[in-house]
Every structure is written in C-alpha cells, then in structure tokens.
Amino acid sequence: MDIIPAIDIIDGKCVRLTQGDYTQKTIYNENPLEVAKQFEDAGLKRLHLVDLDGAKAGSVKNWKVLESIAGNTQLVIDFGGGIKKEEDLNIVFKAGASLATIGSMAVKQETVFCEWIKKYGPDRFLLGADVKENKITISGWLEDTATDVFDFISNYVSKGILNVFCTDVSKDGLLEGPSSDLYKEIIKKFPSLYFIASGGVSSMDDLIRLEMIGCKGAIIGKAIYEGRISLQQLTEFNSGK
C-alpha cells in the first residue's frame, strides 16, 4: 500500500482544516517545499497536494507551489482544488502534476470531464469521492448531493477511471480512525480500482487495517503534522519492516 502524505495549501502555506472548515485552520509550515522534501527523504514516493484557495475560488491559485515541489523533488504528485476549466488543467499538468484530482466537476460537469478523460487518458486523473452518509458532497464539502457514492464510482469506472480516493467528511481531521467498512464495500464492488483511503487515519494500526482490507493507498495529513505517526514509522512501513 502506498503512503500518500497530504499538503493542503492556503496563501502558499502548508495548513490543515478540520472537516473542511476554513475557520478551523492550523498553519503547520510556511514552506510546503520543505515539508515535501521531508516526505521524500523518508522514502515516500507520492504526494497529495490540495489548493484550498483554488477550491474556494473555482480556479487554480497555488500552482507555483506545485511547480516548486515538482521541480525540486521526484515525488509523484496529484494536485486538486479549483480545476474547473481546461486552462486550469493544462496549468496543473505543465506545473508538474502527474495526476489531476477531480471531484466537484465530475458531478457538476460530467460531459466536460468525460471529454478530458478521452483527450488526456483516464490514468491522468484521480477521482475524488467525498462522502457524507454515503452521498457525494462537493464544493469543498459545502454542498451536499443526492448522488450515491457507489453509483458515482460505477459511472466513472465505466469511462475507464481506475484511480479513486474516498474521503468520509465526517472523519476528516478528527483523528478518529478511517471509514474501513465503507472502503471494504467499495473495494469489494470495484476490485480493479487503485483505491485510496482518505480521512481519519490516526495511527499505524489504522494503516495496517487499511492495507489488510485491500486499499492500494492511504492519504495521511493531520496524523503526521500532529505527531501521531512519525516519518520514521512510515519509512519502516514502506520498507516492510
């Protein structure tokens, strides 16, 4: 299972929100590149980079942070937040992202997103399924929908999408453990997915559990920044010790 650390960006700084609430913001580091290099030095290969300013504004804002990290590390970066137009998509790819993370747009502009999948290839996208009580929630978790998470994933699997991450909004940033039962069900229904768990990871035990149920990756944010999981532990987990 790939360990995928998360860096969330506001005003060019590394922050974390609790349950997507912009008023519950903690700044962890003024220099995201420094944080990314620490992850790389620990032997991690991937990075989940989120432009929270972009998510709020509806257009990519912190692409220079992406460019800086992509240009100074070997990390495989997926970048999300504010990718609504093809112009933004091209900025993200040009700045060095391997994958563009698409969430709200996959709900609101399905036709456009499907065109992108055909044009750029499904392997260039990471589909974000943010859920509240098994229903998709969008726009930085500010807007609920009636779309069932299984229907949502099924629709895009049929379009060739294989990279999917799922965040249970009720768990995010609370360090109370991930939604293992939901993830187990998704993996069972869609065994071909490169499925990534996101939200709620608070300990190494959580990671071991996620690997056991078949997750291919796990996104971790707050647990690292709050010292619940050390980079040394992640290095050892990665090396199979």
CATH of the domain at 20: 3.20.20.70
d(CA 152, CA 154): 6
Asked whether residue 17 carries a pLDDT value surpassing 80, the answer given is: no
Q: What's the farthest any 2 CA atoms get from each other in the chain?
A: 46
Domain ranges, residue 135: 2-238
| Cα-based angle 18, 110, 88 (whole degrees, multiple of 5) | 65
Residues 6 or more apart in contact with residue 148 via CB below 8 angstroms: 134, 135, 136
Residue-wise pLDDT for 152-174, tens only, equals 999 999 999 999 999 888 766 56
pLDDT of residue 41: 96
pLDDT of residue 81: 92
Rounded to the nearest integer, the mean pLDDT of the chain is 92
Catalytic position from the list 8, 51, 168, 206? 8
Residues 128-132: what's their mean pLDDT?
91
Residues 37-49: what's their mean pLDDT?
97
pLDDT of residue 195: 98
Asked whether residue 177 carries a pLDDT value surpassing 90, the answer given is: no
Residue-wise pLDDT for 215-234, tens only, equals 999 999 989 999 999 999 99
Q: Is 2 helix (H, G, I), strand (E, B) or coil?
A: strand
pTM of the model: 0.93
Asked whether residue 238 carries a pLDDT value surpassing 90, the answer given is: no
Indicate if 130 belongs to the active site: yes
Tokens, residue 229:
């999981």
Catalytic position from the list 51, 53, 78, 130? 130
Indicate if 168 belongs to the active site: no
Residues 176-188: what's their mean pLDDT?
92
Closest CA relative to residue 198, chosen from 186, 190, 189: 186
pLDDT of residue 16: 80
Domain count, the chain: 1
d(CA 166, CA 207): 15
Which of the four pLDDT bands, split at 50, 70 and 90, describes residue 185? very high
Return the amino acid letter for 163: N
